[in-house]
Amino acid sequence: MKGPAPIKAVFKTMKILECLSYERSLGITELTDRVSAHLDGIPMDKSTVYRFLVSLIDLGFVYQDPQTEKYGLTLKLFEIGMSVLERLELWREAEPIVKEIARVTGETVHLATLDEDELVYLGKVESTRTLRVSMMSRVGRSSPAYCTGVGKILLAYLPRKRLDRILKKEKLVQYTDKTIVRRADLDRELLSIREKGYAIDNEEHEVGVRCVAAPVRNNNSAVCAAVSVSVPTVRLHDKEIPRYRDIIVQAAEEISRRMGYRAPQSAEDAASQRPRREVISDSDSDSDSDSDSEKLKSELVR
């Protein structure tokens, strides 16, 4: 059985971009000749190439020099390539740490990022416990950002314009009784996350699952991903949150360090990015948290 016929417009577009990549800039006649030479059996005249160029300029892939009237590539393709490269590098650097968190906690751990405006899981290590969360998350697939721990982290650190654009497209669906569906409430939640440096998904996407998530930064200090640990609600009571918070924040900091991030040097800058500890547990929980954090730290620095 034959597959679908190739779309000629896609071939033409890619050949135009490919031919432009070989030179700093090209005039319409020379570009048309080069594109036509690469497209066997697909005719391309100057008017057709021009129409394609107009669209590519509108999309930000091509520019036209106002003086020479020649065409060249912008850095948009480079930005896309670097984004893909960063995601590949991100999972390569994060994978051993994600696996170590799963080993130390015995729980399910996720690493996620935003692909365009969608939350996408880059990696997942399942819990080995008999009683574990059975989640809908799948590597390579998207999930709603506004009601997941990793998603809320990524939304919290976005510029306002991009945040508004994403939330305008994504309807706030009520997945559970605890899902935040009012924009004003979500804005307050995201502000709180920025202040604390971590997020909690309190059964907002799936009943019976609580998550604790923290931001991962790249060498430009931008939040490029989020890492989380997901735990059945029967094992993650409020007094246990500091333990998982400390583990996940420390892991996120180590992934960030491996991605080239260096923490601010001034006390004021450091304070603005340091997770705020909340008094929500008793002394026994704090002791367990310190013990697990030290254990994880010793494993990560090996």
Better-scored residue on pLDDT, 171 or 279 = 171
Q: What is the pLDDT of residue 4?
A: 72
Domain boundary among 31, 53, 74: 74
Give how far the C-alpha of residue 75 lies from the chain's centroid of Cα atoms, to the nearest Å. 21
| Residue 14 scores a pLDDT above 70 | yes
Which CATH number do you get for residue 26? 1.10.10.10
Region 279-285 average pLDDT:
40
- Domain total in the chain: 2
Q: What is the pLDDT of residue 5?
A: 65
Whether 189 maps to a domain, the answer reads yes
Which CATH number do you get for residue 245? 3.30.450.40
Q: Are residues 59 and 160 in the same domain?
A: no
Q: Are residues 63 and 212 in the same domain?
A: no
Q: What is the pLDDT of residue 215?
A: 98
Among the ranges 92-96, 123-127, 274-278, which has the highest mean pLDDT value?
A: 92-96
Range of the domain at 216: 79-300
pLDDT digits (tens, 9 = 90+) for 256-280: 999 999 887 655 555 555 555 443 3
Q: What is the pLDDT of residue 126?
A: 87
Whether 1 maps to a domain, the answer reads no
Q: How far apart are CA 159 and CA 151, in angstroms?
A: 15
Domain boundary among 74, 92, 118: 74
Q: Are residues 110 and 203 in the same domain?
A: yes
Q: Work out the mean pLDDT of the chain and round it to a whole number.
A: 85
Region 116-140 average pLDDT:
76
Q: Are residues 165 and 32 in the same domain?
A: no
| Residue 59 scores a pLDDT above 70 | yes
| Total-model pTM | 0.67
Domain boundary among 45, 74, 103: 74
